[in-house]
């Protein structure tokens, strides 16, 4: 049973504790029979189920409520819980929020009405199209162009490693509109998946199966009304979205790590070596102590960043970067220890810890690789003087 004592920390209110209980109960009864062999079908099914349960309401603002906002602590609690139960369920939930984050923060009323009611109920799947073949971490130098043509823009270029690519109904796309060089010449667009000229050029296979694709925009014409925010604000919009959702990546890593610790404790208590329980071995105890320490330290960083954002901080780039860097890197270490303690069973295909070992690796790359998080942290520290 995963440790839930952290819910008593002062970062949370009673409504957060109730949310954690609700999601835990739902996950325990709804995620035990997910067929992962067909990833596309599984993700569609998970989005539908998450929508029916009301959990996707947290992924975007309510278009009918002017006071509605994204609540990062709730997003983190849901992601941590889902990740502990099923990594694909966490993925399906997270992409609904990331894919529509720009609309929640910067969209017009018409754009919000057109899409958010559908994504918040699981009736449409969203995606966030930022990375390109030559500009993953180096977002400011993306090449996909959006050229103004009367009341339209014409999109030309490629995006790659796009989560939900191939199954999404709508993409938040970032393209170069040329108002200035670098970051100041990028704009954001909302592009329906059935727009002529948008081609799913390649489906991408990775070690933990998720729906991913390379997209080609071949003279793809979109109305100027699909522009999110003002021309040239795309980089700012993308960074604002990541400022909200980067902490939730750390929360997912935390969920993976908690599951790895649970599996390890069960293994150590239930297996005998050299005539005694494995849990009596001091080396095993040392590994478990390290795992527990890393998990609590990560949780403190995750929920500090989320609490700060929810309590009015305009930007939490430094705190979110710390949370993502520490939680994802140390979750990798926690899971590696779990595999080691499980021995041969730890690398058996289909075992829980083997699945966690494959799932965790991507979190150290997407939404800003670990090295990028170090740069963000260092720049904030250097700017103090």
Catalytic site positions: 367
How do 227-228 and 186-192 pair as beta strands?
antiparallel
The packing angle between helices 72-85 and 234-270, to 10°, is: 40
- Euclidean distance between CA atoms 140 and 131, whole angstroms: 10
Cα separation, 190 vs 156, whole angstroms: 15
- Dihedral sign for Cα atoms in the order 384, 305, 159, 157: negative
**Residue 15 parent element (H or E):** helix 14-30
Q: What are phi and psi of 171, to 5 degrees?
A: -120, 135
Q: Let me know: does 159 contact 167? Beta carbons within 8 Å.
A: no
* Gap between the Cα atoms of 18 and 71, Å rounded: 15
Give the residue from 105, 100, 59 showing the smallest Cα distance to 314.
105
**CB neighbour burial string for 116-127, b if at least 16 within 10 angstroms, e if fewer:** bebbbbbebbbb
Please count the other Cβ atoms lying within 10 Å of the Cβ belonging to residue 287: 19
């Amino acid at each position: 049973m995963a440790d839930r004592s952290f819910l008593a920390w002062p970062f949370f209110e009673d409504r957060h504790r109730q949310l954690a209980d609700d999601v835990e109960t739902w996950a325990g009864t709804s995620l035990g029979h997910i067929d992962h062999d067909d990833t596309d079908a599984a993700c569609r099914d998970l989005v539908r189920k998450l929508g029916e349960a009301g959990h996707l309401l947290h992924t975007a603002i309510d278009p009918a409520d002017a006071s509605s906002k994204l609540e990062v602590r709730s997003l983190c609690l849901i992601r941590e819980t889902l990740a502990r139960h099923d990594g694909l369920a966490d993925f399906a939930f997270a992409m609904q929020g990331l894919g529509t984050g720009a609309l929640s923060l910067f969209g017009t009323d018409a754009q919000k009405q057109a899409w958010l009611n559908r994504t918040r109920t699981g009736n449409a799947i969203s995606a966030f199209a930022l990375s390109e073949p030559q500009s993953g971490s180096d977002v400011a130098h993306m090449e996909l162009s959006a050229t103004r043509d009367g009341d339209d823009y014409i999109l030309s270029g490629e995006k790659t490693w796009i989560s939900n690519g191939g199954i999404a109904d709508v993409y938040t796309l970032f393209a170069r509109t040329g108002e200035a060089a670098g970051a100041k010449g990028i704009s954001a667009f909302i592009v329906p998946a059935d727009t002529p000229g948008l081609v799913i050029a390649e489906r991408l296979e990775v070690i933990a199966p998720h729906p991913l694709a390379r997209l080609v925009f071949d003279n793809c014409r979109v109305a100027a009304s699909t522009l999110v925010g003002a021309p040239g604000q795309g980089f700012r919009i993308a960074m604002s979205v990541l400022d909200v959702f980067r902490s939730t990546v750390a929360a997912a890593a935390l969920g993976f790590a908690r599951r790895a610790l649970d599996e390890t404790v069960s293994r150590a208590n239930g297996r005998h070596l050299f005539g005694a329980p494995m849990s009596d071995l001091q080396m095993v105890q040392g590994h478990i102590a390290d795992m527990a320490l890393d998990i609590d330290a990560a949780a403190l960083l995750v929920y500090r960043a989320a609490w700060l954002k929810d309590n009015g901080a305009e930007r939490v780039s430094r705190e979110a970067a710390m949370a993502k860097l520490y939680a994802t890197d140390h979750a990798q270490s926690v899971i590696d220890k779990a595999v080691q303690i499980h021995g041969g069973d730890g690398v058996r295909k289909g075992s829980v810890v083997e699945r966690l070992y494959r799932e965790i690796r991507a979190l150290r790359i997407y939404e800003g690789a670990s090295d990028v998080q170090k740069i963000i942290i260092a720049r904030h520290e250097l700017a103090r003087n």
